[in-house]
Amino acid sequence: MKKLNLIVIVITLTFAASCKNEKMTEKDIIQAPIAEKIPKELKIHDDVRVDDYYWLNQKENPKVIDYLNAENKYYDTLTAHTKKFQKDLFEEMKGRIKEDDASVPYKKNGYFYITRYETGKQYPIYTRKKGTLEGKEEIIFDVNIMAKDFEYYALGGLNVSENNNLAAFAVDTLSRRQYNLQFKNLKTGEIYPEVIKNTTGGSAWANDNETIFYTKKDPVTLRSDKIYKHVLGTDASEDVLVFEEKDDTFGTFVYKSKSKAYIIIGSYNTVSTEYQFVSADEPNGAFKILQKRERDLEYNVAHYEDHFYILTNKDGATNFKLMKTLVDKTEKENWVEVIAHREDTLLEDLSIFKDYLILEERSNGLNKIRIKSWDSPLDYYLPFEEETYSASVYNNPEFDTKIIRYNYSSYTTPSSVIDFNMEDKSKEIKKEQEVLGGKFDKNNYKSERIWAPTRDGKKVAISLVYHKDTKIGESTPLLLYAYGSYGHTIEDRFSSIRLSLLDRGFVYATAHIRGSEYLGRNWYEDGKMFSKKNTFNDFVDAAKYLITNNYTSAKHLYAEGGSAGGLLMGAIINMNAELFNGIIAAVPFVDVVTTMLDESIPLTTGEFDEWGNPKEKDSYAYMKSYSPYDNVSIKAYPNMLVTTGLHDSQVQYFEPAKWVAKLRELKTDDNKLFLYTNMDTGHGGASGRFDALKEVARDYAFLLDLEGVKK
């Protein structure tokens, strides 16, 4: 391989001293790293793509690391003038957070569980109290102590046994979502020697308090493909393989029913699901399939008394319906309808209580929580009055209770945890998010929801929030955010961090584009596969609507998206770069065709029904027509900040690296283009709560600097 041709950042004291001309700018002195072009032909379907930067996927190649470091240095140098501002933003955002905070206690199996934080510390402390909240605090895990020797540390999967004496927990120190599963004796404090590597982190205890089920991942593709059974005190090499998901388009998982009666294994892909179950009292028994998988049949299952309750799209129920079946007659021909399918309402989830059934629904884009009694005609919705908001059922592990706990938030209302008595309809706000600093007043902010017409006759909702003193017009800076894939809906929630933009005159907006389920399941179906371009068109049409209606202008409009939302960013700037002054693309999925052709890359095979399989000619042609990397052209692009993590398991670091290299080669403008790679983390960024704020401060400083805001 030829020597890597990097134009290294040149800032020498000798040269700088000779620059007497005051008109000389940073760009006259500093040149961006230029990646070497090593053409690689990629052939399929009688079509040839030439990828000049394919070599950047060689993570073990020192020249790749040198290139990423050079890009980081370039970013650091050209943004050096914002470093103090970034620090100030960080301190400002941190100053709004109650550092010595604690969650609302929840009761489970005789204990109250609390997660709390201490001032100045990055990580949570998990505790519990027996019987009453006045009891003695028992620290289960202090993650600050556990994480002290690591750049990245995530503790997950905390799961206490039925006798309350044992805890399963899982640790990821690389940010690739490959967790080591371990066990702790909560009576003695001993952490047992067995370590089970490469798991999803989740687990399910059998009722014998010594058998535990867990999911392992394929070490290359990271597909969740095997369910094992472990007996506490034995070596992990002796664990029994209970189920192997051999279809590489499916993943698998395991959990325990809320009723504590069953261990349930689920298998899933984009369009199909399958469940099997065994008595939690008989962990060595044989699992029974509830309903065998069928293409385009999706269902979820919950247990109550002698029935399974099934949320399903069976028989064309696009927005899902609720059915039930006896636990000994589980095949679909035995399913009986409980809640019928509705064209205008998406049935999203259910929660089972001893006396009540709780349904989470979505209508006209808004969350609804419906409460039904098992034994009476009682059937009503919780009242929510704001124009746009987010409400969801929240951490209700107890089965025999009349209290439902839910979370409520909006763009202007801080998040609240509320206990609602389903019998007498009284409610108690257990906690409202505190916004410190002495400046926050919700009445100083306005939110609204507008509807933008699209080119094919649909309407896209845009939720906006801004300071009441912000003058809306063509000079108003506006940040437009969206995701638009996998049916994931972005909720309109409060953010104390976002206040740092709003208080400096920004409008923040979310476009609820197709690919989400904001307007029901069809809204998702119309934004994937061969309809994927609707996602991009919706975002562009929303941007044009905001400009046309004088909410902002192209000189002050910014866009942001991450992961599949980063794909969105890449697509919209290839389509209509002129609409945006700046783009933030976080961990962006931009090399769609090459990635989806490589079945060794994590997530690929399980997503053929989301994006298509490019081994099929029609899917290949359609993907290629919108793939951001394949469609970079010789033209002007907006100012851009692209971020990634070296250890990203969801979107490999080389996708954004290649994309930026190609943009540098072809773009005709002098706008800023930065690639920043966190060399210690993966898809989710930093693990500490304050380190994560530093990443937001970096992004906000980029936007505010483009607007000329210095403090």
Instruction: Please write the tens of the pLDDT for every residue from 621-657.
Output: 999 999 999 999 999 999 999 999 998 777 889 999 9
User: pLDDT grade, residue 554 (50/70/90)?
Assistant: very high
Q: Give the model confidence (pLDDT) of 431-454 as tens digits.
A: 999 999 888 999 999 999 999 999
HSE-CB at 186 with a 13 A cutoff on CA atoms is 24
* Residue 687 confidence (pLDDT): 67
The Cα–Cα gap between 694 and 630 comes to: 32
The last residue of a domain, from among 276, 297, 318: 297
Q: What is the CATH number for 218?
A: 2.130.10.120
What residues contact 298, with CB distance under 8 A and at least 6 apart?
271, 272, 273, 312, 313, 320
Residue 540 in this model has a pLDDT that exceeds 70: yes
Q: Do 452 and 558 lie in a common domain? A: yes
Average pLDDT over residues 3-27: 35
The predicted pLDDT at position 602 comes to: 77
Same domain flag for 523 and 665:
yes
**Nearest to residue 279, comparing CAs of 252, 303, 243?**
303
Mean pLDDT within 350-379 = 95
- The number of distinct structural domains making up the chain is 3
Determine the pLDDT at residue 5: 37
Strand partners, 321: 312
User: What is the pLDDT at residue 691?
Assistant: 85
Band the pLDDT of 684: cuts 50, 70, 90: low
Q: What is the CATH number of the domain that holds 569?
A: 3.40.50.1820
Asked if the structure places residue 683 within a domain, the reply is yes
| Residue 384 forms part of a structural domain | no
Residues 164, 127: one domain?
Answer: no
pLDDT, one tens digit per residue, over 689-700 is 788 899 999 999
Split at pLDDT 50, 70, 90, the class of 151 is confident
Strands 459-467, 445-453: pairing is antiparallel
Compute how many other C-beta atoms are within 10 angstroms of the C-beta atom of residue 115. Answer: 18
String of DSSP letters for 414-437: --EEEEEETTT--EEEEEE----S
In a domain, 8, yes or no: no
Tell the burial category of 455 from Cβ atoms under 10 Å away from its Cβ (0-12, 13-18, 19+).
exposed
Same domain? 647 vs 679: yes
Predicted TM-score (pTM) of the model is: 0.91
Other CB atoms closer than 10 Å to residue 636's CB: what's the count? 12
Mean residue pLDDT across the chain: 93
Q: Are residues 480 and 598 in the same domain?
A: yes
pLDDT for 168 equals: 97
Domain match, 87 and 205 both: no
Q: Among residues 297, 324, 358, which one ends one of the domains?
A: 297
What pLDDT is stored for residue 1 in this prediction? 32
Which domain range does residue 165 map to?
A: 152-297
**Number of alpha helices (DSSP H) and beta strands (DSSP E) in the chain:** 14, 37
- pLDDT of 15 reads 30
At 417 the pLDDT is 96
Check whether residue 240 and residue 133 sit in a common domain: no
Please answer whether residues 556 and 635 qualify as being in contact, where contact means their C-beta atoms are separated by less than 8 angstroms: no
Predicted confidence (pLDDT) at residue 128 exceeds the cutoff of 80: yes
Please say which residue of 259, 274, 297 terminates a domain.
297
In this prediction, residues 513-531 reach a mean pLDDT of 98
Is residue 350 one of the residues assigned to a domain? no
Answer yes or no: do 134 and 229 share one domain. Answer: no
600 burial class (0-12, 13-18, 19+ CB within 10 angstroms)?
Answer: exposed
Count the Cβ atoms, other than its own, within 10 Å of residue 494: 24
List the single range of 251-255, 396-400, 456-460, 663-667 with lowest mean pLDDT: 396-400
Co-location of 279 and 138 in the same domain: no
The whole-number average pLDDT for the span 44-69 is 96
Mean pLDDT of all residues in 238-246: 97
| Residue 311 located in a structural domain | no
Q: Are residues 589 and 479 in the same domain?
A: yes
Same domain, yes or no: 80 and 173? no
Residue 313 lies in a domain: no
Residues 372-427 pLDDT 10s: 999 989 999 999 989 899 999 988 888 899 999 999 999 999 999 999 999 999 99
| pLDDT digits 0-9 by tens, 573-604 | 999 999 999 999 999 999 999 999 998 887 78
What pLDDT is attached to residue 127? 98
> Is 435 inside a domain boundary?
no
Residues classed as catalytic? 563, 648, 683
Do 618 and 677 reside in the same domain of the chain? Answer: yes
Query: 428 near 448, Cβ under 8 Å?
Result: no
The span from the CA of 633 to the CA of 629, in Å, is 9
> Residue 8: is its pLDDT beyond 70?
no
Of 278, 313, 309, nearest to 294 (Cα)?
313
Contact at 8 Å (CB) between 579 and 543? yes
Taking residues 140-167, what's their average pLDDT?
94
Instruction: Give the pLDDT of residue 685.
Output: 64
CB 553 within 8 A of CB 577: no
What pLDDT does residue 29 have?
Answer: 57
The per-residue pLDDT for range 204-238, each reduced to its tens digit, is 999 999 999 999 999 888 899 999 999 999 999 99
78-118: pLDDT as tens digits: 999 999 999 999 999 999 999 999 999 999 999 999 999 99
Q: Does the residue 277 lie in any domain? A: yes
